[in-house]
Amino acid sequence: MSGSYNLAREAHRRIIGMIFEGALKSGDALQEAALGEVLGMSRTPVREAIKRIESEGLAAAEGRFTRVRSLTAAEIEEIFFLRLELEPFTARSAVRLPPAQVDAMEARIRKLMAAGPEIDDLHWQTDDDFHALLAQEAGNRTIASTVEALRRRTCVFDHTQVPDRFLKGCAEHLVILDAVRSGDADAVETAMRRHLENARDAVLGRLRELPGQPQDTTAETK
């Protein structure tokens, strides 16, 4: 993997951290030169990182500038509402997958669990390929591309932001693969739904911790 790609990933990780820690607030401009100076990088990897952050919904172009925007709990709910409608349905078709493909994916997940979350490329590639594998037998490319776009919107909440989800998410993937092996499409759908609900709840929990986020006072007002 090229050095420039790794630098862009590192720039992305550090800028996202600055947003989540409140060093970059909603409305702040993401300026290549200024961020490059802070990060000790050239403008090129910073530019690539900003583009990715914009595609993930944490920044938006406003005139000449790309500015930080808040990702709200309502948006997360909407994203996971759509994922919960689409992914459990498409995952049902995974019972038709050849056993060798299921076994190969399990081996990759177990390798990832042994390696730990620090290896970002292995983590994201395995996660991407897992969800693609579960959807491919449905044969609907429009749904597959929609799910990919929705997942991109929440991938900023990775193991650095919700560390408790790393091993739990991997274990849930293994449960889904066991359901695939059983040939029980209902069990696959149920396991996928539970996996997505757990991911949603973790993201919402992390979002509530971010600076400037409104706190839930429902329990106090009941």
What is the tally of structural domains in the chain?
2
Residues 56 and 78 occupy one common structural domain: no
Provide the pLDDT for residue 2.
57
Domain-ending residue, one of 68, 83, 110? 68
- In tens, the pLDDT along 125-177 reads 898 899 989 988 888 989 988 988 888 888 778 777 788 899 999 999 999 99
What's at 68, amino acid-wise? Answer: V
The mean pLDDT value for 1-8 works out to 71
Residues 163 and 57 occupy one common structural domain: no
Decide if 106 is inside a domain: yes
Domain with 63 in it: 3-68
- In tens, the pLDDT along 95-115 reads 999 999 999 999 999 999 998
Domain-ending residue, one of 32, 52, 68? 68
Provide the pLDDT for residue 194.
98
Q: In which residue are the tokens 């930080």 written?
A: 68
| DSSP H/E element including 67 | strand 65-68
Residues 60 and 153 occupy one common structural domain: no
Cα–Cα distance, 144 to 121 (Å, whole number): 21
Cα–Cα distance, 158 to 142 (Å, whole number): 25
- In tens, the pLDDT along 20-35 reads 777 888 889 999 999 9
Q: In which residue are the tokens 């650095």 written?
A: 160
Residues 44 and 79 occupy one common structural domain: no
Domain-ending residue, one of 68, 84, 119? 68
- In tens, the pLDDT along 35-93 reads 999 999 999 999 999 998 998 888 999 888 999 987 789 999 999 999 999 999 999 99
Provide the pLDDT for residue 222.
35
Q: What is the CATH number of the domain that holds 197?
A: 1.20.120.530
Q: What is the CATH number of the domain that holds 27?
A: 1.10.10.10
Cα–Cα distance, 129 to 156 (Å, whole number): 17
Residues 102 and 179 occupy one common structural domain: yes
* Contact predicate 161/117, CB 8 Å: no
